[in-house]
Amino acid sequence: MTDFVEKLRAWFEVKLELKQRQNCHNIREGEIWWCAIGENVGVEINGKNKNFTRPVVIIKKLSHFCFLGVPLTSQEHTGTWYAPFLFKNRQQYAAIAQIRVLSVYRLYRKMGEISRADYSLIKNSLLRLYF
């Protein structure tokens, strides 16, 4: 429990920095960004490293300040909760069940853009899982 509390404290410090800098990035659907996902509870996907980041694909721009994003993992997964695709010659898995609304203030650096085919694959996976 102590390790979890320390991670939460560290995440809170990162959140304060994100709020203070308020970088408002111009984003587009299908882009992949390093995003401060944070330290979360239970089965929620966590960020990694000192900034609690992980790659996220932008599914839908909701406003100038927020978007629907799906976190990515390079660990192999199967099932309807994941959509596999290649990005920069590396296998990635979109964690479909972890979709969430995120602020553009959480974004650090654009990594690139996925193909239209992979973007469609992820969107169709979302539709099958949730609808």
User: pLDDT of the chain along its 131 residues, tens only?
Assistant: 689 899 999 999 999 999 888 778 899 999 999 999 999 888 999 999 999 999 999 999 999 999 999 999 999 999 999 999 999 999 999 999 999 999 999 999 999 999 999 999 999 999 999 88
How many structural domains does the chain have? 1
Domain of residue 40: give its range: 2-130
Cα 101 from Cα 10, distance rounded (Å): 22
Considering the entire predicted model, what is its pTM? Answer: 0.93
User: Which CATH number characterizes residue 16's domain?
Assistant: 2.30.30.110
Cα 42 from Cα 13, distance rounded (Å): 21
Which structure tokens are listed for 56? 């996220």
pLDDT value, residue 113: 98
pLDDT value, residue 1: 65
